[in-house]
Amino acid sequence: MYTAQRLWLASMASLFVFLFLLALGYFFGRMNEARHFQSLERREADLADITVSNTKQIPQGMSDCQFVSGNVVISIDYFKRLLAGIRTLFGGRINAYATLVERARREAVLRMKEQASDNNMRHISNLRLETASVFKNAKTNIGSLEVYAYGTAVK
Amino acid sequence: MPDIEITNLETLPGRSITKHLGMVQGNTVRAKHVGRDIMAGFKNIVGGELRGYTELLTESRDESVNRMVEEARALGANAILNVRFSTSSVSAGASELYVYGTAVVVS
């Protein structure tokens, strides 16, 4: 009786922790994401005059090359990770990760553009984007990913 | 990285290549550390940017670029063209940052 009671308590405690993390992930994850998208949109509008291309040619009349880059490591929240985990049982589209990758990519490109605008550059040629799931370990199987954007800025 | 120009274009606009010196490269393997990991553990719950890791990777990438630049300098180059980066996770908790390009002399 005594051990059964303890077992019950322990399982209730872990269930409570799980639900707590889930709620935390849901609310803060949503909040963070909404805030991040807002900031992305605002900064993208500010830097809209810097054009970016992934061709190797640079526009006529521009010179003065400079290497620019930006990177970001971003993590998914607990709630979305669970959703994605369930999704992988049935297959299909995982929206949770799609927005994560989109945020990371836009952020990295923005940071690169910010660096270019600090140096009064007007255009970025030969943009390359690289995505890596870094510091992968068994516990957090995809968790976080890094996006690195680099290119050559000219003015 | 002064005096050596780095670009991921195949030429430098308005300059001509006078000498090819071959490929130069640099790499670093970095492991995360515990302090940063605790913060990252928290961020894994609420989501968002892992600033510690962003910085860590920026530092490591700078280090590999520096190594590449040193190699180019030893060859007597003044520019590195067509620079490419690549990242791979070597083992759990460590990742390699590799950068390579072509060392040249431009006039």
Which residues are paired to B30 by β-bridges?
A: B95
Contact residues on chain A for B34, CB-CB shorter than 8 A:
none
**What tokens does A77 get?**
């929240």
Position A56 scores a pLDDT of 87
Tell me the chain B residues in contact with residue A137 when contact means C-beta distances shorter than 8 Å: 92-93
Q: What was the pLDDT predicted at A34?
A: 93
Q: What is the CATH number of domain B5-106?
A: 3.30.110.70
3-state secondary structure of A49: coil
Q: Please count the structural domains in chain A.
A: 1
The pLDDT tens digits of the residues spanning A108-140 come to: 999 999 999 999 999 999 999 998 876 555 455
Chain B residue at shortest CA distance from A66:
B7
Residue of B8, B45, B92 with shortest CB distance to A152: B8
The mean pLDDT of A91-110, rounded to a whole number, is: 90
Percent of chain A with pLDDT over 70: 93
Subunit contact B9:A126, Cβ cutoff 8 A = yes
What are the φ/ψ torsions at residue A42 (nearest 5 degrees)?
Answer: -65, -45
Enclosing domain of residue A125 = 2-154
Mean pLDDT value of segment A67-87: 88
ipTM: 0.85
Per-residue pLDDT averaged across A45-50, rounded? 92
Burial class (CB in 10 A: 0-12, 13-18, 19+), B63: middle
For range A21-45, the mean pLDDT? 91
Helix (H) or strand (E) holding A86: helix A78-90
Q: How far is B81 from chain A (nearest CA, A)?
A: 10
Q: Scanning every residue of chain A, which has its alpha carbon at the shortest distance from the alpha carbon of B80?
A: A67
- Give φ, ψ of A69 to 5 degrees: -155, 160
Instruction: Give the pLDDT of residue A143.
Output: 67
- Give the residue with greater pLDDT, A133 vs A147: A147
pLDDT tens sequence across B42-88? 777 888 888 888 888 899 999 999 999 999 999 999 999 999 999 88
A99-108, B1-10, B78-87, range with the lowest pLDDT: B1-10
Note the pLDDT of residue A38.
Answer: 95
Which residues 2-21 in chain B show a CB within 8 A of chain A? Answer: 5-10, 12-14
pLDDT, greater one: B38 or A48: A48
C-beta pairs of A85-91 under 8 Å, 24+ apart in sequence: none
The phi and psi torsions of A91 (rounded to 5 degrees) equal 80, 175
Q: Residue A142's pLDDT is what?
A: 54
The Cα A139–Cα B92 span in angstroms is 10
Nearest residue on chain A to B13, alpha-carbon basis: A63
* Contact check, Cβ <8 Å, B46/A77: yes
Cβ neighbours, 10 Å, residue A119: 11
B23: closest CA of chain A, how far (Å): 18
Task: Tokens for B40, please give them.
Answer: 């990252």
**What tokens were used for B26?**
């640099």
Asked whether A155 and B14 are in contact (CB, 8 A), the reply is: no
B46–A136 CB contact, under 8 Å: no
Find the CATH number of the domain harbouring A19. 3.30.110.70
